[in-house]
Amino acid sequence: MIKTMIKTKVCELIGIEYPIFQGGMAWVATGELAAAVSESGGLGIIGSGQAPADWLRQEIRKVKAITKKPYGVNVMLMSPYVDEVMQVILEERVPVITTGAGNPGKYVPMLKEVGTKVIPVVASVALAKRLEKAGVDALIAEGMESGGHIGEIGTFPLVPQVVDAVKIPVIAAGGIVDGRGLVAALALGAEGVQLGTRFMCAEECTISHLIKDKIIKAKDRATVITGRSTGHPVRCLDNHFTREIDQYEREGMPPEEIAQLGVGRLRLAMVDGDIEKGSIMAGQIAGAVKRIEPAARIIQDIMQSAEREYERLSARFGERRV
């Protein structure tokens, strides 16, 4: 374990050592990955995506068997199984949930009743304010640098605007890969960070090695946004699938048909390793992910490099008198 001075309100709120969340990515963030991250002092989060409730219960049990530390579940609010998934979360007394792709307001009272902390992902100030009123514990402000379903605002403009609009802690997400990103997020007023893409390349992440290789080979301009016409834009690594969708959109294919083309593609990429026909959701920071390594080392590296960057900044600017 490393000694760190970077402890935040989020560490206290949920009882974790380091203010680092692992994004709850569908078909990627299984119990194995979440347990490894939590056991290493961050917050591991199971991505329930559109999986049925039974699958989630099994992944929660895996986490509980590996670690006694806090963990989370991400609920994708567009899932057809969202009500059953919430029921499992209540029954299993999950310590933290994050939500994506919608407004979780109506679920807040029942989750609070059993002591589950609720930390929704927001991509706008308006939803952030509404959810603070609904009683959520913290917020994840996710910029459009992220992989998967995204909003329209970048992390740098979004985070300080959300921080200024609410009193609850804010976690920054989108485009963060190392200690520089953590220090920058703290400078913007965030109390922690969430990383997805880098954790896809954790050893404990069960996705196909072909996807991990593709992320490691990715450069700065490797991602594209597809599906704008459907109202649900998605950032993925550029491949045959994204170029096909692009062409159909340009030809004016109806949005429902475009959306239909995406069904099953995330699983095809992550589980089956089809790097051309699958949808490889990943963030713009993919170009900075360099190696496959254990989750514990990712967390150590982020914390150590954050301390180093903070020292460097203090040495440069800390002594100055005005």
Q: What is the nearest approach in angstroms of ligand TUI to the Cβ of residue 50?
A: 7
Chain positions contacting ligand TUI, by CB under 6 A: 26, 76, 78, 100-103, 121-123, 127, 142, 148-151, 232, 234, 281
Residue 137 vs 307, nearer CB to ligand TUI: 137
Q: What is the nearest approach in angstroms of ligand TUI to the Cβ of residue 264?
A: 11
Residues 134 and 111: beta-carbon distance below 8 Å:
no
Residues 283 and 28: beta-carbon distance below 8 Å:
no
Q: What is the nearest approach in angstroms of ligand TUI to the Cβ of residue 3?
A: 33
Residues 172 and 190: beta-carbon distance below 8 Å:
yes
Cβ neighbours, 10 Å, residue 123: 24
Residue 13 vs 123, nearer CB to ligand TUI: 123
Residue 10 vs 76, nearer CB to ligand TUI: 76
Residue 29 vs 122, nearer CB to ligand TUI: 122
